[in-house]
Copies of this chain bind each other. A is one copy, B any other.
Amino acid sequence: MSVTREKILELGEELILTKGYNGFSYQDISTAMGIKNAAVHYYFPSKETLGTSILKTNVQRFEEMVENMQNRNFDEWHQLESFMKIYLKSNRENKICLIGSLGTDINTLNDPMRVELQKMVDRIVSWLESILLSGKEKGLFEFSISAHDQALQILSSLIAGLQLARILNKSEFKNIHQSIWEEITPQNKK
């Protein structure tokens, strides 16, 4: 694989997470890389092919992380912790997440991008749901609503947590992160 192509994907993702999909241009990528805008079009003919590739790369990265955690026999608690660490890192870097960013622009995206975005979110929600369910059976987690709803609840907190932290104060995300754990950890009875 071309290193230029990889770098474009990386930069494109970063730009979506910092400036939003409609807030960056091929010029932003090309000038940052010291190449010409046509070179970006060489690898990704349209902005939407770039967007779709970024989404596919992300799903792949997610699947690799899940597989890696299973190979290492991570329990559900540690799997969830690893997932949440991604968001802690994004917060440190003043980024939001792909879901929150593209969720804003969804009506301006073409079908392939929308389909890929939906696939990605579907996959993450169903993984979260399964982790929560089996973790609950083992007594690692405790919650009264359905695993699906609890998954949506946690994911929402993470997504909007990053957005709120960027508007208000970076450090507010720590509180949101903390609250998620307190809500599903058994030792904290209400």
Question: So how many copies of this chain end up in the complex?
Answer: 2
Q: Which residues does chain B contribute within 8 Å of A19, judged by CB atoms? A: 105, 107-108
> A167: which of B106, B175, B178 is its contact (CB, 8 Å)?
B106
Docked pose: A106 CA to B168 CA in angstroms = 11
A153–B144 CB distance below 8 A: no
B150–A179 CB distance below 8 A: yes
A176–B153 CB distance below 8 A: yes
Q: Is A117 in the interface zone, CB < 8 Å from B? A: yes
Q: Which residues does chain B contribute within 8 Å of A101, judged by CB atoms? A: 104
A152–B167 CB distance below 8 A: no
State how many angstroms separate the Cβ of A70 from the closest Cβ of chain B: 25
B20–A167 CB distance below 8 A: no
Known: A22-B23, A152-B176. 14 other contacts (CB 8 A): A20-B20, A22-B22, A23-B108, A100-B100, A100-B160, A101-B104, A103-B160, A125-B168, A144-B188, A145-B178, A145-B182, A153-B176, A155-B164, A159-B159
A positions within 8 Å CB-CB of B = 18-20, 22-23, 96, 99-108, 117-118, 121-122, 125, 142-146, 148-150, 152-153, 155-161, 163-164, 166-168, 172, 175-176, 178-179, 182-183, 188-190
